[in-house]
Structure 1
Amino acid sequence: MGYDVDVIDLDMLKQVQTLLKERWPELVDGYLESATTYIDNIKNGLVDGDAHVVSSNAHPLKSSSSGIGIVSVGEIAGAIEDGAKGAIENGADMSHLDDLVLLLDDAFQRAVPRLRATVGECASV
């Protein structure tokens, strides 16, 4: 399956931004910090061959990303989670997830400036 690394659901993002109002910048900062940690843990889990670490970090990344409209990161994290769960169930290696992790990193890096820009928009309103 191909993934568009630039997909952001602007309607969802705006809804959450409107709902949180002045707390939006705090949410963005928290998301960026935790997402960075999750991605680092996923990478380390792959290097260590620990599917449990990969799965347990991909799941909250999928959920938190999807919840604020960062669709590409959420979808790719979901595919990584599924692949890691498959490795847990079948005892297979996770080398097939390497390309997905590269895509995940790319999608996240593309989302960061767009998310930061929404904080600036929020401050100027």
Structure 2
Amino acid sequence: MFGLGFSEILLITAIALVVIGPKKLPDVARALGRGFAEFKNAMGDIQRSVYSPPPGESQYLEKLLKQREHERNLEAEKVYTEADMDQPEQQDNPPQDKPLGDEESSGKVEG
């Protein structure tokens, strides 16, 4: 939790045993545990209040997202419709190749 290894924790425990005494050490450890638990719960509450959106904002964001998606769909339909209008209509009979005249078919080049 605090980046302490086993040897550091053992050293802190030994010092606490000497300073506090063996009779009061369980009570002090229990109080420290409760204090850390309360601190952890308070930090969790603060993080939830900071990172969670205010009530009603999630509904607003969902509504805004749907509106933007609808606008994109309308824009895409508009572009698609304009592209269809820009293309010339296809004729039922495609143009046929013209027969080549004698000059063009003989391969002679006049110059």
TM-score (norm 2): 0.37
Query: TM-score, normalised on structure 1?
Result: 0.33
Q: Looking at secondary structure, tell me which structure has more helix per residue.
A: 1
Structure with greater contact order relative to length (CA < 8 Å, sep ≥ 6): 1
